[in-house]
């Protein structure tokens, strides 16, 4: 086991090696450019001292033409590189070759600069500072991604619906909405998810990792924010209001889904019948019509339902719960539709 002082010395040596490799590659490229300039100068040298600016322009033009002819095209993705060195570095993306290895943890990288940034994780160094706020980062790529929060830049655009994202990973996850791909599968029950984070949360159901308990009803939740949102059910508070119609909701997600009705965005499509929906939740509920899946079972009888709200309405038959009171006469109903019919038929006449 290395002592802290030895580890620091080793990391310093690794960083110096990485810097040296970068410096050497830059010098090779610079020398190559100087050689090209010398060749062009020899070829186009004007013996008289007249019109030196013309000679300089000719050199630059010839060099640019030569570079254009000598650019390196990647046959894998079509990318054009201006030097053999950059081309070789780029090809490692396709070949998977990783020449630079961290002596601390064994992780390998395709470029020395990537290794250099990685070493900052071990040393705790954060040399990249945001120009808009005081946040610092160990990697230049992380800084670039962070700064898009300030600039609002979203360079990654979905070619299906035009939605844009700040990072490529967000676009990749979004594309699964269109493709229907769910690559993350639970090995306990077989349920699949579009994102790794969703699977991670789902796994807590099996491991019974539910530490957030409601002191009103005893329900348990996977995280504190879900419990906080649930508490609105007891307080009857609906803090999220639609600025277009004034309708209020218990949670922000419900408000967001509701507002898609106003703007007419229906980006979630059923691949069976091509019907479109404003949210993934509504699409999933609809898809059960085709699959016949009814995952919600009544705890009082054997009836099953395709969605949780239908189960909840049904269970009120057993419990006798009638949470919808008429404000005109005080009569209570077990669902909002029954209350609406009552109000329309009895009190609106």
71-130 tens-digit pLDDT: 788 888 878 878 888 888 888 888 888 888 888 888 888 888 888 888 888 888 888 899
- Residue 64 pLDDT more than 70? no
7: left (phi over 0), alpha (psi -120 to 50) or beta: alpha
At which of 118, 134, 152 does a domain end? Answer: 152
Length, in residues, of the chain: 349
311 and 273 inside one domain? no
Number of Cβ atoms within 10 Å of the Cβ of 86: 16
Residue 320 near residue 333 (C-beta atoms within 8 A): no
What does 29-47 look like in DSSP terms, one character per residue? Answer: HHHHHHHHHHHHHHHT--S
268 and 302 inside one domain? no
If we measure between CA atoms, which residue out of 62, 68, 105 comes closest to residue 83?
68
Tell me the percentage of the chain whose pLDDT exceeds 70: 76
Q: What's the alpha-carbon Rg for the chain, to the nearest Å? A: 32
If we measure between CA atoms, which residue out of 200, 233, 207 comes closest to residue 219?
233
Write down the pLDDT at residue 52.
47
The predicted model gives 136-159 an average pLDDT of 86
The phi and psi torsions of 346 (rounded to 5 degrees) equal: -100, -45
Write down the pLDDT at residue 37.
47
278 and 309 inside one domain? no
Q: Specify if 327 maps to a domain.
A: yes
Q: Specify if 185 maps to a domain.
A: no
pLDDT band at residue 338 using 50, 70 and 90 as cut-offs? confident
> Which domain does 241 fall in, by range?
210-291
Write down the pLDDT at residue 14.
59
Q: Specify if 256 maps to a domain.
A: yes
pLDDT band at residue 49 using 50, 70 and 90 as cut-offs? very low
281 and 216 inside one domain? yes
Q: Specify if 40 maps to a domain.
A: no
- Residue 48 pLDDT more than 50? no
At which of 129, 152, 175 does a domain end? Answer: 152
Task: Name 214's Cβ contacts closer than 8 Å, sequence gap at least 6.
Answer: 220, 221, 227, 230, 231, 234
3-state secondary structure of 116: helix
260 and 309 inside one domain? no
268 and 313 inside one domain? no
251 and 304 inside one domain? no
Least-confidence region, from 127-141, 263-277, 290-304: 263-277
| Domains held by the chain: number | 3
Q: Specify if 123 maps to a domain.
A: yes
Residue-wise pLDDT tens digits, 277-317: 777 778 888 888 888 888 888 888 999 988 888 888 898 88
The predicted model gives 338-347 an average pLDDT of 86
- Residue 325 pLDDT more than 70? yes
CATH of the domain at 138: 3.30.160.60
Write down the pLDDT at residue 247.
85
| Strand 164-165 relative to strand 156-157, pairing | antiparallel
Q: Specify if 302 maps to a domain.
A: yes
114 and 140 inside one domain? yes
Write down the pLDDT at residue 275.
81
- Residue 147 pLDDT more than 50? yes
As a whole number of angstroms, the distance between CA 184 and CA 193 comes to 5
Write down the pLDDT at residue 65.
53
At which of 291, 315, 336 does a domain end? Answer: 291
260 and 307 inside one domain? no
Write down the pLDDT at residue 44.
45
Both tokens of 75, joined, read 């046959």
Write down the pLDDT at residue 57.
59
Write down the pLDDT at residue 117.
84
Write down the pLDDT at residue 25.
59
261 and 220 inside one domain? yes
C-alpha dist (Å) from residue 72 to 31, 56, 64, 287: 18, 26, 14, 49
Write down the pLDDT at residue 43.
46
Q: Specify if 68 maps to a domain.
A: no
pTM summary value: 0.38
- Residue 47 pLDDT more than 50? no
Write down the pLDDT at residue 152.
84
> For residue 157, what are the β-bridge partners?
164
Q: Specify if 215 maps to a domain.
A: yes
Three-class DSSP labels, 9-36: HHHHHHHHHHHHHHHHHHHHHHHHHHHH
- Residue 218 pLDDT more than 60? yes
255 and 233 inside one domain? yes
Residue-wise pLDDT tens digits, 226-249: 788 778 778 778 888 888 788 888
Residue 221 near residue 212 (C-beta atoms within 8 A): yes
Give 104's DSSP letter: T
Residue 284 near residue 302 (C-beta atoms within 8 A): no
147 and 218 inside one domain? no
The predicted model gives 142-169 an average pLDDT of 85
Residue-wise pLDDT tens digits, 24-46: 656 665 565 555 445 544 444 44
């Amino acid at each position: 086991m290395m002592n802290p002082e030895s580890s620091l010395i080793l990391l310093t040596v690794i960083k110096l090696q990485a810097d040296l490799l970068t410096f050497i590659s830059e010098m090779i490229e610079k020398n190559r450019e100087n050689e090209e300039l010398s060749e062009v100068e020899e070829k186009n040298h004007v013996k008289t001292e007249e019109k030196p600016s013309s000679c300089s322009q000719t050199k630059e033009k010839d060099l640019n033409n030569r570079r254009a002819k000598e650019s390196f095209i990647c046959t894998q993705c079509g990318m054009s590189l201006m030097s053999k060195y950059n081309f070789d570095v780029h090809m490692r993306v396709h070949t998977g070759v990783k020449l630079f290895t961290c002596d601390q943890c064994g992780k390998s990288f395709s470029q020395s600069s990537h290794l250099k940034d990685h070493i900052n994780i071990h040393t705790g160094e954060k040399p990249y500072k945001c120009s808009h706020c005081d946040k610092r980062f160990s990697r230049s790529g992380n800084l670039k991604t962070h700064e898009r929060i300030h600039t609002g830049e979203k360079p990654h655009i979905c070619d299906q619906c035009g939605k844009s994202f700040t990072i490529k990973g967000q676009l990749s996850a979004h594309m699964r909405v269109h493709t229907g791909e769910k690559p993350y599968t639970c090995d306990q029950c077989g349920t699949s998810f579009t994102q790794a984070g969703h699977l991670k949360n789902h796994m807590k159901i099996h491991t019974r990792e539910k530490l957030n308990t409601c002191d009103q009803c005893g329900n348990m939740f996977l995280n504190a924010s879900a419990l906080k949102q649930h508490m609105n059910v007891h307080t009857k508070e609906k803090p999220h209001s639609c600025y277009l119609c004034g309708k209020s909701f218990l949670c922000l997600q419900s408000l967001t889904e509701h507002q898609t009705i106003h703007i007419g965005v229906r980006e979630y499509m059923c691949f069976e019948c091509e019907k479109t929906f404003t949210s993934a939740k509504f699409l999933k509920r609809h898809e059960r019509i085709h699959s016949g899946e009814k995952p919600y079972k009544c705890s009082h009888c054997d009836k099953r339902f395709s969605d949780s709200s239908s189960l909840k309405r049904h269970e009120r038959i057993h419990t006798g719960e009638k949470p919808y009171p008429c404000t005109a006469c005080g009569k209570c109903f077990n669902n909002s539709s029954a209350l609406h019919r009552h109000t329309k038929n009895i009190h609106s006449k």
